[in-house]
Amino acid sequence: MKARPLGKFHHLIGFVIPLLLPVLVAAQNLPRGKIYVASQGSDTVSVIDSSRLEVIATVEVEDTPHNVNHTPDGRLVLVTNKNINTKKPASLSIIRTDTDKIVATVENLGERIEHVVVPSGGHRAYVSEDLAKNAVVDIDLNSNQLKGSIPVGIKPHGLVSSWDGKSLFVPNQLSGTISKIDLNTQKVVAEAEVGRTPTVIAVTPDDKTLYVTLFGERGVAVVDAQKIESGKMQINDVIRVGERPAQVAITPNGRYVLVPAEGPGALYMIEEATHRAVTEIPTGAKAHGVDVSSDSRYAFVTNWNDGSLSVVNLSQKKVLKQIQVGESPAGVDFVPIPD
């Protein structure tokens, strides 16, 4: 059967599809919340309404913001500013999520900082400083004062807190190691080799397993979190993904491990139970950062070279929408709004 010519109606397609897109997005029953995206190239944080997938605010922060993360109560978002171009000491911008305004800036955090995490207590923030100190910097969020620093390996990057709030796990890129920090004593209790250029760590909801991106070897190491000792650890598997895997996130239901790889510009979905990469979803050029909605249905992926955020429907395994943000977006953080 011959295809029917579009005739005089073909010109309507380009007009109708943009009109239908908001309807298609609304039909997804998206979670209520905000998505915060730190863009290193434009010195901004884009704020996106997750239920409408629209940028609702742009917050100007300090120079070269890299990572973004929220406090457990969702009231504050913390942004690491490397301040590379201004050549001033690194800083941490603190944004209130109800107003999307900066309420404080913590200064003099070192030559270059990378990621920030707030353990379950919510009163302290820990920031990786990777140029001069090779340490984790401790900040009191009640006073916004620097309390001290904990020496780790060389070039620490994407650290993570255990869900019980007792430990930090820190990947040291140039050492090829993971440092485990006891938050009660504020000391490193173990450090062991994991692979080439460990970059970001995620921990399963039961605190038993770490997933570590190995930027230098196209892999994700699966580590027993309860068997890390000085000089040795139990690596259960190394999952092969695309070139230059950057960040990693685990869905709250524990089903999938999500890894964006810069080389192919794609998101890899890995089954947590089997350690098998089940699909590769193209997102954009130099896919870098990732976070997940609290209902485990959507992933948010930053595309560094595209200046965009991809919203991925995980059940359909495809990109729902591409949202333009600032230049060179890196970190992304989903903050839920309770129903």
What residue has token string 């997804």? Answer: 28
pTM above 0.75, yes or no: yes
Is the distance from CB of 266 to CB of 284 less than 8 angstroms? no
Distance CA 288, CA 262 (A): 6
Q: What is the bridge-based pairing of β-strands 318-324 and 329-336? A: unpaired
DSSP state, 9? G
Whole-angstrom distance, CA of residue 299 vs CA of residue 168: 24
Number of residues written out for the chain: 339
Instruction: Tell how far CA 39 is from the center of its chain.
Output: 13
Query: pLDDT tens digits, residue range 248-288?
Result: 999 999 999 999 999 999 999 999 999 999 999 999 999 99
3-state secondary structure (DSSP) of residue 78 = strand
pLDDT in tens, the chain (339 residues): 333 344 444 454 455 445 444 545 554 689 999 999 999 999 999 999 999 999 999 999 999 999 999 999 999 999 999 999 998 999 999 999 999 999 999 999 988 999 999 999 889 999 999 877 899 999 999 999 999 999 999 999 999 999 999 999 999 999 999 999 999 999 999 999 999 999 999 999 999 999 999 999 999 999 999 999 888 899 999 999 999 999 999 999 999 999 999 999 999 999 999 999 999 999 999 999 999 999 999 999 999 999 999 999 999 999 999 999 999 999 999 999 876
Query: Spelled out in words, what is the top-level CATH class assigned to the domain 33-151?
Result: mainly beta
DSSP-based three-state secondary structure for 263: coil
- In the chain, domain spans: 33-151
Provide the CB-side half-sphere exposure for 21 (13 A, CA). 14
